[in-house]
């Protein structure tokens, strides 16, 4: 594991978790094949008394023969997941030379890909800025991960972010419903973002947005006289950061709020990632959260 | 050149104008720093540029304004520092003279009069003045320039406490200790003399030293007398003084509160006789501008229980009189001591107000002392011109009994009877009243004796002339009347009346207000109507003198209306001449009760002004005649505040000057002098008797000047008006410490505060702009 974006510590932490589609529709999975993840047997969950309307195929006849009662066997759902990771490689992702947002996002993407690979689900990678830069279609082939990691290393962030063309195009390409994971700082027009996310949702893709923000961008800790040079745009501003801090943070807060509402209204999972926080913690907590949500959804 | 001229003009209000110029130039520093700061910055390649631009758009104007404000504050701070270092002062003529001087003499005139004891809140004006003075000496001692102190006290202008004493680290403790020891006296401010003394002092001093005069005073009207045209008035002298010096500062250490109650007078009715009720009149004055109520006056005599009387209300400026009746009881004495003088008693009167001193700012004048010199009776001498051993025959027979009747109640008169020949060897000084009863020639040395008598009256004696049948009108006119210049107010002409006693003349009172006869006036009083004069001396008064030094108290009801009782003021004393004798030969008066009363009252009346012997004003020298035949030359004195002194009698200066007849007597009478009665209270002089009979005490009491209690202040406006044109400034001592005045009217202290304020403001604003929002 010599790859830059595959951090063993991060992986250790999240190894125990699994990535699943939240919405599992029958027929979406090609047959009930055995679960690769949960051992060799079909994962049995629990027994439940039969109620009229239940599928008779699930009745546990062995129990019936012993107890003369009808019980339904319940299983953990299983699925064949096809996941596409969209990674924003616009210039704005380059912020902070030591550990940039792009580095952070790439590590996230790699970790996630590794996890899915372990789960033997298919993972694809798309890097984009104003247009799609590289498109690795989803595959569960073990070599695919290596390819992806190589691709991540080769990519340098450049140009602006523009999803207006990228997302609909991608939505069209990915026919089969699956999981779309977006790593981006979302420095783009909110309306465009809303529209683009809608494209995925219309095709019943499940979307997770990992909003990667640098800690500096969230707290604006600058003090001294500073010349701010735009990464994506050629503007520059000589300012006293202390005087602007309050207004800046207001603007950021407003932006985050808008993004949140946009995601929520599009039915998209939204996770704000601060580059200061350890990646495993963010990913881990999110995945655990998903797991719980799913369980409670099923039991309801 | 222009710059130098500018600098010179700056120098009129700056010690170091160069530093100010430097400060003004240094104002450019913050601007420079600001500009340099703009050039020095970090470059950050920033992703979230939109938000930043948004924030910048919103804040640009505000930030610029804030930056400008901060820059201004910083420039101001630098300017202030420059100004501070330049040590600006308010350009007064005083300081202008001081700038380039290296040697200063500070002349302080310290008012230590009684009114300085007035309370101002928790302190007295005196304490304020003393503190200010110590402040001044302390700050001067630290000053680099050579400072010296000359201190005049108004109580003793002729002896400055310090005379150009150098003020430095080595001497400051000593000077301060000496100042600390000073106390406000009970005396009055001797301002005129002090300022005069100061003027003389300055006239003698070399001119090459800068001098500043500080007058620390409470500015009472009593002392400062604004709009006094007299060229020697304190303000005029002060204005003159200011021209001789670099400046005069009149430092006001008091406030305008003038509420004060004072005992302005304590006066006994007459000679104080042991065992006889004496009356004291105490005058209480309210000097304030509001009425005082419930003023308690307490009189305590000796160790006895005090008498107390309450005055309900004293209107502002009014004087209330309180009367006390007090009987001095005598100690049991053995017969042998009766020749000795009685011990004097100490009478003290105090005021207490219900409002715990709010009415009374000056407690020192709310107490008065009175030396009650006791006698067994008013010492009276009867000179009998017709003595007789036979009962009822002597000329003085009735008079003697009238004055000292036998019986348990003492009359208060101690009468000695002598013949005219015994007069020569007699010292008259111990008598207060002398009766001359039908005395023809006054012994062999008539002229000498008459002169002796005249001098005795001049000194305050009371003489009663009772002429009878032995008088020769020509002799009387030559020696007693002397055409109005002699003792007698009456010129006796001839004996009138009816020898057969068939007709008579009655007494008619002319002056109904006369103290002696007052009791007989009024309708229902029958006493004098019964008096019948069968014979009398026809007499006249000199017309020119009537109504002036001579007055007629009573006349007879005969055709000529002969004056039968006439009074003449003679020196400090008085002479009362009657037209009838004291015995029963010519009248039936002696058998009438009114005779006794008139004679008793006469003694009291003539001795009335002798009651206040030994009463002094504070500062008035104490003088006690000392008869060397009786007492030792040395005497000791115990004054208030445990003060002790030994006195030695000195011969009177005018011993040789006067007429020969009394010369030998006065050669043995010397004087004890004690000038330092500068504190109120009792002064007890102890005289040692030569005969080994122990000590005699003579008591004096010094009271404060009642006018000193008037705390009214000079009108500041009038004062300032009067001082216009002179180099005198009036300053409040309470607002400012003298040290500031000492370093003149420098304002660096305010600048320092201003600078601190500006710097704090800058920091605060900087923080507020940066982080507060």
> Residue A258: what pLDDT?
93
- pLDDT above 60: residue B244: yes
Which chain B residue's Cα is nearest to A244? Answer: B55
Contacts of B47 in chain A (CB under 8 A): 91-95, 101, 185, 187, 214, 217, 231-232
Q: What is the mean pLDDT of chain A?
A: 78
Which chain A residue's Cα is nearest to B65? Answer: A243
What's the start-to-end Cα distance of chain A, in Å?
42
Residue from A95, A238, A239 to probe the interface with B (highest B Cβ count within 10 Å): A239
How are beta strands B413-419 and A269-274 bridged, if at all? unpaired
In B, residues 22-61, which contact A (CB 8 Å cutoff)? 37-38, 40-56, 58-59
Are B735 and B39 in contact, with CB atoms under 8 Å apart?
A: no
In A105-162, at which residue ranges do the beta strands (DSSP E only) sit? 122-128, 132-139
Confidence category of residue B749, pLDDT binned at 50, 70, 90: confident
Token representation of residue B272: 């104080």
- pLDDT above 90: residue A257: yes
Half-sphere exposure of B397 (CA within 13 A, CB side): 15
CB contact under 8 A, B55 and A255: no
Is the pLDDT higher at A81 or at B649? Answer: B649
Q: What is the ipTM of this complex?
A: 0.74
Q: pLDDT tens across B147-159, in order?
A: 788 888 888 878 8
To the nearest whole Å, the CA of B744 is away from the closest chain A CA by 47
Point out which residues pair with B507 in neighbouring strands. B556
CB contact under 8 A, A230 and B46: yes
Q: Residue B714's closest CA among B693, B730, B738?
A: B730
- Predicted TM-score (pTM) of this structure: 0.54
Confidence category of residue B662, pLDDT binned at 50, 70, 90: very low
CB contact under 8 A, A243 and B62: yes
Average pLDDT over residues B761-770: 84
Which chain A residue's Cα is nearest to B770? Answer: A242
Token representation of residue A64: 């019936």
Are B535 and B496 in contact, with CB atoms under 8 Å apart?
A: yes
> Residue A260: what pLDDT?
93
Token representation of residue B359: 């009415």
CA angle B731-B185-B255, nearest 5°? 30
Name B103's Cβ contacts closer than 8 Å, sequence gap at least 6. B145, B146, B147, B148, B208, B209, B210
Backbone angles phi, psi at A167, to 5 degrees: -70, -45
To the nearest whole Å, the CA of A54 is away from the closest chain B CA by 55
Containing A288, the helix (H) or strand (E) segment is helix A279-299
Residue B187, burial from CB neighbour count under 10 angstroms (0-12, 13-18, 19+): buried
Name B134's Cβ contacts closer than 8 Å, sequence gap at least 6. B176, B179, B180
CA angle B40-B46-B49, nearest 5°? 110
Please list, residue by residue across B689-717, b when 16 or more beta carbons sit within 10 angstroms of its beta carbon and e when fewer do. eeeeeeebebbbbbbbbbbbbbbebbeee
Confidence category of residue B526, pLDDT binned at 50, 70, 90: low
Q: Residue B450's closest CA among B422, B489, B423, B490?
A: B423
> Residue B772: what pLDDT?
54
How does DSSP classify residue B89?
Answer: B
Q: pLDDT tens across B393-440, in order?
A: 788 888 888 887 776 666 778 888 888 888 777 778 788 889 888 887
Q: Residue B536's closest CA among B515, B560, B517, B519?
A: B560
To the nearest whole Å, the CA of A248 is away from the closest chain B CA by 5
Residue from B47, B57, B768 to probe the interface with A (highest A Cβ count within 10 Å): B47
Q: pLDDT tens across B624-653, in order?
A: 888 788 888 888 888 888 888 888 888 876
Q: Determine what percent of chain B is predicted with pLDDT higher than 90.
A: 0
Are B495 and B538 in contact, with CB atoms under 8 Å apart?
A: yes
Q: Residue B107's closest CA among B205, B236, B218, B20?
A: B205
> Residue A210: what pLDDT?
92
Place of tokens 């809608």: A198
- pLDDT above 70: residue B525: no
> Residue A15: what pLDDT?
59
Are B325 and B279 in contact, with CB atoms under 8 Å apart?
A: yes
Are B125 and B253 in contact, with CB atoms under 8 Å apart?
A: yes
Confidence category of residue B280, pLDDT binned at 50, 70, 90: confident
Distance between alpha carbon B705 and the CA centroid of its chain, in Å? 2
Q: Residue B481's closest CA among B472, B469, B489?
A: B489
Confidence category of residue A295, pLDDT binned at 50, 70, 90: low
CB contact under 8 A, A244 and B42: no
Average pLDDT over residues B135-158: 79
Confidence category of residue A71, pLDDT binned at 50, 70, 90: confident
CA angle A58-A204-A127, nearest 5°? 125
* A:B CB pairs within 8 Å: 99
> Residue A254: what pLDDT?
92
Please list, residue by residue across B295-329, b when 16 or more beta carbons sit within 10 angstroms of its beta carbon and e when fewer do. bebbbbbeeeeebeeebeebeeeeebebebebebe
Confidence category of residue B663, pLDDT binned at 50, 70, 90: very low
- pLDDT above 80: residue A220: yes
Which chain B residue's Cα is nearest to A161? Answer: B47
Are B184 and B116 in contact, with CB atoms under 8 Å apart?
A: yes
Containing B720, the helix (H) or strand (E) segment is helix B716-722
Q: pLDDT tens across B40-82, in order?
A: 888 888 888 888 888 888 888 888 888 888 889 888 888 888 8
Name B61's Cβ contacts closer than 8 Å, sequence gap at least 6. none
CB contact under 8 A, B66 and A243: yes
Q: pLDDT tens across B472-512, in order?
A: 888 888 888 888 888 888 888 888 888 788 888 888 887 77
Are B66 and B762 in contact, with CB atoms under 8 Å apart?
A: no
CB contact under 8 A, A252 and B51: yes
Q: Out of A92, A227, A235, whose CB is closest to B47?
A: A92
Q: In what order do the strands lie in the sheet with B728-732?
A: B162-167, B146-153, B103-110, B210-217, B247-252, B728-732
Q: What is the mean pLDDT of chain B?
A: 79
Contacts of A227 in chain B (CB under 8 A): 41-44
d(CA A235, CA A229): 6
How are beta strands B119-120 and A236-239 bridged, if at all? unpaired
* DSSP for B389-456, written as a single string: SSTTTSTTHHHHHHHS-SSSS--SEEEEEEEGGGGGG--GGG-SEEEEES-SS-SSSHHHHHHHHHHH
> Residue B760: what pLDDT?
92
Confidence category of residue B605, pLDDT binned at 50, 70, 90: confident
Q: Is B65 on the interface with A (CB under 8 A)?
A: no
- pLDDT above 80: residue B655: no
Q: Out of A94, A229, A247, whose CB is closest to B59?
A: A247
- pLDDT above 80: residue B675: yes
In B, residues 461-490, which contact A (CB 8 Å cutoff)? none
Name A22's Cβ contacts closer than 8 Å, sequence gap at least 6. A206, A290, A293, A294, A297
> Residue B336: what pLDDT?
43
- pLDDT above 50: residue B514: yes
Q: Out of A235, A238, A255, whose CB is closest to B41?
A: A238
> Residue B162: what pLDDT?
82
- pLDDT above 90: residue A256: yes
> Residue B733: what pLDDT?
66
- pLDDT above 60: residue B659: no
CB contact under 8 A, B47 and A187: yes
Q: Out of A227, A243, A251, whose CB is closest to B51?
A: A251
How does DSSP classify residue B305?
Answer: P
Q: pLDDT tens across B556-603, in order?
A: 888 788 888 898 888 888 898 888 888 888 888 888 888 888 888 888
- pLDDT above 80: residue A227: yes
Confidence category of residue B660, pLDDT binned at 50, 70, 90: very low
Are A179 and A205 in contact, with CB atoms under 8 Å apart?
A: yes
CB atoms within 10 A of CB A29: 15
- pLDDT above 70: residue B330: no
d(CA B102, CA B100): 7
């Amino acid at each position: 594991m010599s790859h830059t974006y595959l951090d063993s510590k991060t992986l250790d932490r999240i190894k125990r978790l699994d990535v699943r589609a939240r919405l599992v529709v029958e027929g979406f999975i090609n047959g009930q094949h055995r679960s690769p993840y949960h051992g060799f047997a079909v994962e049995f969950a629990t027994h439940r008394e039969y109620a009229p309307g239940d599928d008779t195929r699930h009745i546990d006849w062995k129990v019936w023969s012993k107890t003369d009662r009808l019980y339904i066997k319940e299983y953990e759902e299983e699925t064949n997941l096809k996941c596409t990771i969209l990674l924003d490689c616009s210039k704005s992702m380059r912020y902070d030379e030591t550990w940039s947002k792009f580095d952070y996002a790439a590590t996230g993407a790699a970790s996630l890909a590794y996890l899915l690979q372990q789960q033997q689900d298919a993972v694809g990678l798309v890097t984009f800025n104003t247009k799609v830069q590289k498109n690795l279609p989803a595959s569960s082939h073990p070599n695919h991960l290596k390819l992806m990691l190589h691709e991540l290393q080769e990519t340098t962030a450049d140009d602006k972010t523009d999803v207006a063309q990228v997302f609909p195009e991608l939505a069209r390409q990915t026919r089969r419903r699956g999981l779309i994971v977006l790593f981006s700082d979302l420095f783009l027009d909110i309306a465009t973002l809303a529209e683009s996310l809608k494209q995925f949702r219309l095709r019943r893709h499940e979307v997770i947005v990992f909003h990667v923000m640098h800690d500096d961008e969230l707290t604006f800790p600058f003090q001294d006289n500073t010349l701010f040079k735009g990464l994506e745009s050629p503007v520059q501003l000589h300012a006293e950061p202390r005087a602007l801090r309050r207004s800046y943070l207001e603007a950021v807060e407003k932006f985050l709020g808008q993004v949140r509402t946009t995601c929520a209204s599009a039915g998209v999972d939204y996770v704000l990632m601060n580059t200061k926080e350890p990646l495993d913690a963010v990913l881990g907590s999110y995945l655990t959260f998903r797991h719980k949500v799913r369980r409670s959804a099923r039991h309801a | 050149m222009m710059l130098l001229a500018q600098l010179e003009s700056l120098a009129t209000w700056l010690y170091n104008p160069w530093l100010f110029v430097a400060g003004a130039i240094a104002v450019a520093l913050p601007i420079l720093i600001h500009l340099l700061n703009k050039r020095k910055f970090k470059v950050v390649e920033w992703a979230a540029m939109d938000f930043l631009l948004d924030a910048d758009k919103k804040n640009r104007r505000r930030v610029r304004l804030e930056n400008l404000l901060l820059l201004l504050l910083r420039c101001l701070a630098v300017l202030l520092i420059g100004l501070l270092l330049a040590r600006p002062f308010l350009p007064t003529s005083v300081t202008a003279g001081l700038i380039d001087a290296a040697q200063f003499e500070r002349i302080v005139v310290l008012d230590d009069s009684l009114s300085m004891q007035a309370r101002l809140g928790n302190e007295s004006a005196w304490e304020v003045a003393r503190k200010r003075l110590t402040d001044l000496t302390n700050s001067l001692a630290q000053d680099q320039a050579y400072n010296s102190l000359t201190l005049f006290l108004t109580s003793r202008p002729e002896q400055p406490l310090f005379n150009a004493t150098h003020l430095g680290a080595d001497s400051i403790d000593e000077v301060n200790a000496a100042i600390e020891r000073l106390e406000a006296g009970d005396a009055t401010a001797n301002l005129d003399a002090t300022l005069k003394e100061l003027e003389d002092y300055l006239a003698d001093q070399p001119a090459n030293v800068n001098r500043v005069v500080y007058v620390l005073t409470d500015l009472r009207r009593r002392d400062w007398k604004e709009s006094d045209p007299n060229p020697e008035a304190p303000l005029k002298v002060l204005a003159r003084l200011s021209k001789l010096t670099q400046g005069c500062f009149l430092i006001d250490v008091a406030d305008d509160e003038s509420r004060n109650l004072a005992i302005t007078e304590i006066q006994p009715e007459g000679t104080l006789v042991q065992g006889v009720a004496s009356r004291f009149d105490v005058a209480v004055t309210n000097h304030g501008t509001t009425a005082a109520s419930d003023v308690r006056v307490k009189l305590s005599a000796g160790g006895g229980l005090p008498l107390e009387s309450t005055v309900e209300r004293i209107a502002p400026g009014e004087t209330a009189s309180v009367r006390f009746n007090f009987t001095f009881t005598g100690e049991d004495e053995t017969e042998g001591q009766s020749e000795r003088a009685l011990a004097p008693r100490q009478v003290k009167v105090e005021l207490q107000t219900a409002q715990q001193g709010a009415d009374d700012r000056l407690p020192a004048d709310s107490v008065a002392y009175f030396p009650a010199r006791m006698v067994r009776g008013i010492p009276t001498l009867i000179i009998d011109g017709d003595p007789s051993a036979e009962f009822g025959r002597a000329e003085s027979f009735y008079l003697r009994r009238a004055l000292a009747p036998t019986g348990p109640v003492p009359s208060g008169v101690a009468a000695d009877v002598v013949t005219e020949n015994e007069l020569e060897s007699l010292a008259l000084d111990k008598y207060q009243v002398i009766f001359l009863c039908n005395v023809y020639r006054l012994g062999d040395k008539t002229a000498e004796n008459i002169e002796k008598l005249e001098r005795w009256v001049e000194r305050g004696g009371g003489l009663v002339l009772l002429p009878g049948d032995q008088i020769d009108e020509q002799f009387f006119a030559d020696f007693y009347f002397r055409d109005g210049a002699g003792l007698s107010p009456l010129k006796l002409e001839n004996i009138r009346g009816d020898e057969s006693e068939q007709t008579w003349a009655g007494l008619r009172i002319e002056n109904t207000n006369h103290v002696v006869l007052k009791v007989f006036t009024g309708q229902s009083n029958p006493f004098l109507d019964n008096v019948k004069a069968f014979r009398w001396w026809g007499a006249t008064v000199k017309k020119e003198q009537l109504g002036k030094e001579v007055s007629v108290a009573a006349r007879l009801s005969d055709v000529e209306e002969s004056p039968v009782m006439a009074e003449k003021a003679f020196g400090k004393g008085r002479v009362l001449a009657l037209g009838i004798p004291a015995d029963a030969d010519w009248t039936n008066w002696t058998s009438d009760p009114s005779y006794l009363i008139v004679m008793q009252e006469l003694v009291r009346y003539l001795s009335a002004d002798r009651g206040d012997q030994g009463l002094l004003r504070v500062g008035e020298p104490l003088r006690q005649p000392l008869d060397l035949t009786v007492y030792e030359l040395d005497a000791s004195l115990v004054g208030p505040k445990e003060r002790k002194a030994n006195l030695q009698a000195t011969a009177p200066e005018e011993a040789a000057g006067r007429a020969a007849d009394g010369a030998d007597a006065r050669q043995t009478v010397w004087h004890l002098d004690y000038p330092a009665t500068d504190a109120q209270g009792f002064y007890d002089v102890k005289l040692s008797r030569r005969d080994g009979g122990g000590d005699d005490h003579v008591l004096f009491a010094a009271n404060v000047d009642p006018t000193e209690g008037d705390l009214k202040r000079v009108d500041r406006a009038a004062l300032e008006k009067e001082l216009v044109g002179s180099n005198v400034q009036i300053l409040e001592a309470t607002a400012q410490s003298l040290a500031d005045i000492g370093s003149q009217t420098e304002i660096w202290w305010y600048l320092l505060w201003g600078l601190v304020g500006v710097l704090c403001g800058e920091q605060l604003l900087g923080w507020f702009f940066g982080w507060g929002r």
